[in-house]
């Protein structure tokens, strides 16, 4: 999955949605650096929200659906969801979580967290992302 490029990773603690036991998830140093360069707010999301959602998710889904997923790479990929205690402005200052939104962290089948963001929450399940029933193959937690 490294595309032939040597990347450095940092290991973070997470929860295994199958067993409820601790497990490890990696984040590439390159990704951390790219996010930290955007703004202090993006850095705060990476620093505080990503570990919190990986360790205390409200739900974990497996199997990201792609229409033309020829090699079915998305099958074992996971989406950790949560509603963090805070959100952050661009300058890094705290505010209450964005109303009607959840934070999602995407983890590939090598257990690498490669993307995260806020998304609109489902109307009926405010701790889950919108369209969760259509986007994922199954719910693990």
Partner 1 sequence: MTVVSNADFASRVLGLAQNAPPFRPTAHYDPDGDCIEFLAAPDPFYGERVDDLLTVYYSQESRQIIGSLIKGVRGLLKRHPGLNIEIQDGRVRLVHLLRASFWNKDQPQPVEVRTYRKLIEVAEAANVETELAAV
Give the whole-angstrom CA distance, residue 42 versus residue 18: 30
Residues that bind partner 1 (CB under 8 A): 1-5, 7, 9-13, 24, 28, 31-48, 51, 55, 65-70, 73, 87-90, 92, 98, 101, 106, 108, 110, 112, 114-115, 117-120, 131, 135
- Shortest distance in whole angstroms from residue 59 CB to partner 1: 17
The total of other beta-carbon atoms located within 10 Å of residue 39's CB is 15
- Shortest distance in whole angstroms from residue 141 CB to partner 1: 20
**Rounded alpha-carbon distances, angstroms, from residue 52 to 6, 42, 104, 118:** 28, 15, 11, 14
> In the complex with partner 1, which residue's Cβ is closer, 20 or 99?
99
> In the complex with partner 1, which residue's Cβ is closer, 5 or 21?
5
- Shortest distance in whole angstroms from residue 34 CB to partner 1: 5
**Rounded alpha-carbon distances, angstroms, from residue 108 to 38, 60, 85, 97, 127:** 23, 13, 25, 26, 22
> In the complex with partner 1, which residue's Cβ is closer, 114 or 140?
114
């Amino acid at each position: 999955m490294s595309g032939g490029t040597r990347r450095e990773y940092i290991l973070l603690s997470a929860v295994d949605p199958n067993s409820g036991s601790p497990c490890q998830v990696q984040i590439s140093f390159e990704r951390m650096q790219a996010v930290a360069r955007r703004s202090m707010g993006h850095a705060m999301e990476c620093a505080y929200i990503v570990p919190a959602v990986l360790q205390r998710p409200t739900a974990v889904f497996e199997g990201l659906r792609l229409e033309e997923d020829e090699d079915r790479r998305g099958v074992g990929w996971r989406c950790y969801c949560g509603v963090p205690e805070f959100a952050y402005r661009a300058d890094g200052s705290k505010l209450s979580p964005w109303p009607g939104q959840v934070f999602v962290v995407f983890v590939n089948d090598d257990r690498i967290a490669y993307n995260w963001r806020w998304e609109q929450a489902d109307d009926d399940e405010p701790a889950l992302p919108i369209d969760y029933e259509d986007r994922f193959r199954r719910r693990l937690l």
